[in-house]
Amino acid sequence: MIVTVTMNAAFARTITVPNFQRGQRHRASAGLPLAGGKGVNVARALKGLGVPVVATGLAGGQAGLRIVERLTGEALLNDFVRIEGESRTTTAVVDPTSNTYTEINEWGPAVTADELEMLREKLDYLSQGAELVVFAGSLPRDVDDEFYADAIRDLARRQIPSALDCEAEPLRFGVEAEPFLAAPNQREAEGLVGQEFHDDEDFQIGLDQIAEMGARNVLITTEFGCYALLREEKTARRYRVEAPHVEPVSAVGGGDTLLAAFIASHLAGRSHDDSLRAAVAAGAASTLELGAGIFDPHEAARLQAGVSVRELTPLAV
């Protein structure tokens, strides 16, 4: 069983608007309402891969009811803490004409200390016997930036590994808590190390710096695939992984699907090469669908043959 934690869950709407332009009135040609938030997206992708998973986090108000209803309707096992504040609603506008998408994300609810304590207790219960706990997405208002870090350390004391995908200070503190895996996207990783990445050397420096901060393994997702630093005992190996070219429908949640597929393959005991190939192929397949965390496993399997996995030579010190 894998547990995913979504602190800032959302009722997520993805709508298709051809020729979308600011300041104009549009009529959407298609819409897809889903439970959202990065941890929920990861859980959805894991379920699609046949991996036992339970999604937890915080859900409140009418939007929170919709989130739980949607998850239950997908037969995705969930156990959220009900809170007083209203969960956020997010909207993604996909324009197939220009192959662009626009995301509008609300901040989310304020959370009380008692509600956070209930979540901690639920996580303690759900994580018993878990192979991995995934913390993904932003923190709601009034939640301390060190929340993820504290939870990662608590799990480590019980020998339960964790994965982390977030940004800014929660990412910094979380990485310092030494998670099994840190999986920021390129922008988040650049913010963490304080420099932009332009070539393989920049990404290698970023991977090494994040590992030195505390993460045992590092995935940096990019528009074309990912860079990775993965350990075998005391040896660290670095990779550049590129997906085959596809015509995307929507890139929303592609990185979440990539992370889920990597976790599934790694826990199944597959090699680094195979895990990275499966992860990037699944991420690419997810861009062919509307809705975060949704992909066709058969399409992902077909795309695997076109994924390029190249081990990078360590930089000279």
Residue 170 makes CB contacts below 8 A (sequence gap 6+) with 138, 139, 145, 146, 147, 148, 149
* Distances 305 to 1, 47, 274, 282 between C-alpha atoms, Å: 29, 23, 11, 12
Q: For the chain, how many structural domains are there in total?
A: 1
Asked if residue 185 belongs to a domain, the reply is yes
Whether 61 is in a domain gets the answer: yes
Backbone dihedral angles phi then psi of residue 11, each to the nearest 5 degrees: -90, 110
Residue 109 included in any domain: yes
Residues composing the chain: 317
Per-residue pLDDT of the chain (317 residues; tens, 9 = 90+): 999 999 999 998 877 778 777 777 877 776 778 898 999 999 999 999 999 999 999 999 999 999 999 999 999 999 999 999 999 988 878 777 777 777 777 778 889 999 999 999 999 999 998 999 999 999 988 899 999 999 999 999 999 999 999 999 999 999 999 999 999 999 999 999 999 999 999 999 999 999 999 999 999 999 899 999 999 878 899 999 999 988 887 777 789 999 999 999 999 999 999 999 999 999 999 988 878 889 999 999 999 999 999 999 877 65
CA distances from 194 to 43, 189, 203 (A): 30, 8, 12
Calpha distance 220→227 (Å, rounded): 5
269: which 2 tokens? 């005991």
Note the pLDDT of residue 30. 66
Q: How confident is the model at residue 317, as a pLDDT?
A: 58
Q: Given this model, what pLDDT does residue 211 score?
A: 96
Q: Give the CATH number, domain containing residue 281.
A: 3.40.1190.20
Cα separation, 201 vs 170, whole angstroms: 26
Structure confidence at residue 105 (pLDDT) = 78
Residue 92 lies in a domain: yes
Asked, for residue 317, whether it belongs to a domain, the answer is no
- Whose tokens are 């156990």? That residue is 79
**Residue 135 in domain:** yes
Q: Is 299 among the domain residues?
A: yes
**In 3D, which of 118, 122, 166 has the Cα closest to residue 140?**
166
What is the model's pLDDT at position 316?
A: 63
Query: Contact at 8 Å (CB) between 257 and 293?
Result: yes
Which residues constitute the domain of residue 92? 2-20+28-312
| 90 within some domain | yes
What residues have CB less than 8 Å from 257, skipping those under 6 apart?
41, 42, 45, 282, 283, 285, 286, 292, 293, 295
Of 155, 158, 182, which Cα lies nearest the Cα of 171? 182
Please state whether beta strands 181-182 and 217-221 pair in parallel, antiparallel, or not at all (unpaired): parallel
Q: What is the pLDDT of residue 33?
A: 80
Interhelix angle for 147-157 vs 113-126, to 10°?
30
Q: What is the pLDDT of residue 78?
A: 96
> At residue 125, what are phi and psi to the nearest 5 degrees?
-70, -50
CA–CA dist 3, 54 (Å, integer): 5
